[in-house]
Structure 1
């Protein structure tokens, strides 16, 4: 399970949503049960929290996860059930997929609203040393990603993008057909230099966060952090903003086309994966008794 990007573009607790997003975890309930253990490890990649900070953060984190499981997860299970029914009926079209996408965006926004006060307090209490470390770690993170995603020639970037997408697709549909692999390659080529736009945008968000934390004694600090978590688009670079609608639509078109190309075996595989996800998440003891 990928857990390093906790202080990324969305929020430091975005992993609360990972148990209901297509992450590829073999046991969703196991991942969800251990989020309070996984998240601090990831946060420590960026911040060396002292004992008091760790204790306070872990307590608040448990409260957030409990809130999420009790109040948000039941709705996610209903959405998974609806998606599964659409797969079985063969009615998963662009309109249905976009509705699921919008529901996912709303879920992330709800999490951002919930955890904003905790995040504000955590960042306000950082020592100057920790702020410098955060800045250094962001720079290191950027350099690593530039090496991985930008240093290779563009044709290699596109090929690796296609490989990553094919791997994700095959987790849910099983082995991709030749036609599906070709469609994935077309999508990867259409995104062209998206790696550069994505990394520039990521770096701008990180710089904005560090700048806000450096000035955490200012009266508008709470508002600045809230905007960074809740209104992320405000901090997008102009090129990324201009490209985003086309990239978003291209990816939705890709998913619909891959689903339309899927044979009976692949659709059955998808149905089984969704059923496994529902079963795993439904077994969590934090869910309301009516589940």
Structure 2
């Protein structure tokens, strides 16, 4: 069970894998058509010209080829390792190490793609830059408005409902004792949404200042944009980093506790979920 959550971390670590599990189409179809699917997403933010569209598709295709050959096998191995840990005697230290390791998958993607994405950003006209920044700001404002529409209690209750639903997906049916563990962890969890919104705004503000700076050479512009794309933690507050760490420890402890309560039937359900994830990755790698 604890590894199942870890698996979610792995899946969410990469946009390609995330899309696979969010889309109703087959995993292979979705992954293999990321180029045109991504175009729909980009269109929500900015209108690219013909040359820029070609540049974007090249970035996506090159990144996808690299991702299929290097990252998907790594995800698969990661899940297999987690499954093995899940079926052996676990410690919270082992589990945390695996979770932290999984979080690096997303950073690997940024490390690979940040420079060509920055070069594309540097090619934008003043009008395109304004359009992009305005649409990102609009998205942040909408998230903030949605966040403020709920009370802290409503947000906590919604999170609990999502947590119960998620864990039941993996173990089929939770016992009352297991639900009690999840409820306790949810009560202790610190809502970091406002801090994440602050981080997003900080990062956007830096991008705005970069695009505004008329004194930058093309190379300097690309270098600074690449930093904004790649170095996410640079724009996170100490409060957010601290809260993330505290919530991570809560998460690890919950998984460890739940793992000790699983029945044979529940443990088999979790193993089935792991096998399904591995089969899905095999299908994508081989397609």
SS in structure 1 opposite 2:115? helix
C-alpha contact 1:146 1:199 (8 A) present in aligned 2: yes
Q: d(CA) in 2 for partners of 1:38 and 1:128?
A: 26
1:136 aligns with 2:103: no
Aligned residues: 272
**Corresponding residue number in structure 2 for 1:18:** 18
Q: d(CA) in 2 for partners of 1:216 and 1:223?
A: 15
SS in structure 2 opposite 1:261? coil
Q: Deviations over 1:48-102 (max 9, x none)?
A: 2223222221122111101111122222212222222223x24343233223222
**Corresponding residue number in structure 2 for 1:284:** 284
Counting only pairs closer than 5 Å after superposition, residues 207-246 of structure 1 correspond to structure 2 as 207-215=205-213, 218-219=216-217, 220-246=220-246
Q: Deviations over 1:155-185 (max 9, x none)?
A: 1011112222233323333233333333223
**Corresponding residue number in structure 2 for 1:7:** none
**Corresponding residue number in structure 1 for 2:111:** 113
**Corresponding residue number in structure 2 for 1:247:** 247
C-alpha contact 2:118 2:222 (8 A) present in aligned 1: yes
Q: Evaluate the alpha carbon distance shift between residue 269 and residue 36 of structure 1 in structure 2; reply closer, same or farther with a 3 A threshold.
A: farther
Give the structure, 1 or 2, with the largest relative contact order (CA under 8 Å, sep 6 or more).
2
Q: Evaluate the alpha carbon distance shift between residue 34 and residue 264 of structure 1 in structure 2; reply closer, same or farther with a 3 A threshold.
A: farther
Q: How big is the alpha-carbon RMSD for the aligned residues of Structure 1 and Structure 2?
A: 2.6
Structure 2: unaligned runs, 5 residues or longer: 1-12
C-alpha contact 2:140 2:201 (8 A) present in aligned 1: yes
SS in structure 2 opposite 1:46? coil
Q: d(CA) in 1 for partners of 2:45 and 2:34?
A: 17
C-alpha contact 1:183 1:258 (8 A) present in aligned 2: yes
Question: So what's the TM-score if we normalise by structure 2?
Answer: 0.83
Q: Evaluate the alpha carbon distance shift between residue 134 and residue 181 of structure 1 in structure 2; reply closer, same or farther with a 3 A threshold.
A: farther
Q: Deviations over 1:222-281 (max 9, x none)?
A: 332232233211111232133222122122222322333332222211211111121122
**Corresponding residue number in structure 1 for 2:5:** none
Structure 1: unaligned runs, 5 residues or longer: 1-12
- Aligned mate of 1:171, from 169, 172, 179: 169
**Comparing 91-100 and 213-222, the one that deviates more:** 213-222
Which 4+ stretches in 1 moved above 6 angstroms?
none
Q: d(CA) in 2 for partners of 1:106 and 1:112?
A: 10
SS in structure 1 opposite 2:44? coil
